[in-house]
Chain A
Amino acid sequence: DSGVTQTPKHLITATGQRVTLRCSPRSGDLSVYWYQQSLDQGLQFLIQYYNGEERAKGNILERFSAQQFPDLHSELNLSSLELGDSALYFCASSSRLAGGAGTGELFFGEGSRLTVL
């Protein structure tokens, strides 16, 4: 158990809909990363927050947004969903801005599997 909690584990929705994925980082971790993993793309970096502030952005679509709250949990909002958004969405946390004690040591949750029909 990594200590990172993601909900929901599975989500099935229709095209055009909006969903929110939630992540609770390990206790004390200030940094949260979001990744998308699909069969043909591998793990794609979406966005990173550190102590409530956005710190790095990857190829995140404009239809997607995220935030980190004062209690350090994070939410990833996906709107106007398309079939191609079906994927596993992972949240990872670390204690430092640039990774954990070993730098780059991210602790991943079990993921939220999104299916868009």
Chain B
Amino acid sequence: EDQVTQSPEALRLQEGESSSLNCSYTVSGLRGLFWYRQDPGKGPEFLFTLYSAGEEKEKERLKATLTKKESFLHITAPKPEDSATYLCAVQARPSSASKIIFGSGTRLSIRP
């Protein structure tokens, strides 16, 4: 069964303190791994798609990387506005069964 596990559940950082969030996945064949950001009371907002091991994507202070077993979301010098829940999701092959499975998320809090 396809599974996505995120750690830690919650992370509190001081402004400017860099860190990484982890997403471990188990799928029969990975079609894509996705990162989303969710603010309280809002729907998730798409950040990145990663397709294959070794791939990296960057957006502002965020960088996502992918290995065969896990993905990391690196946050460099975070600001309070980066506080949110970060969700990881996977889509398995074949794509005809196109469900996208989400992890439980990491609640990130950045203190000024």
Contact = CB atoms under 8 A, between A and B. Distances in A.
Given A43-B44, A98-B31, A98-B91, A103 B49 contact: yes
The bracket for how many chain A residues form the interface is 20 to 34
Contacts, number: 81
B103 A107 contact: no
Nearest to A58: B99
B54 interface: no
Interface residues of B, number: 26
Interface of B: 31-34, 41-46, 49, 51, 87, 89, 91, 95-105
29 contacts: A2-B43, A33-B100, A41-B104, A43-B44, A44-B102, A45-B100, A45-B102, A48-B99, A50-B98, A55-B98, A56-B97, A90-B44, A97-B95, A98-B95, A99-B32, A99-B49, A99-B100, A100-B46, A102-B49, A103-B31, A104-B34, A104-B89, A104-B91, A104-B100, A105-B46, A105-B49, A110-B42, A111-B42, A111-B43
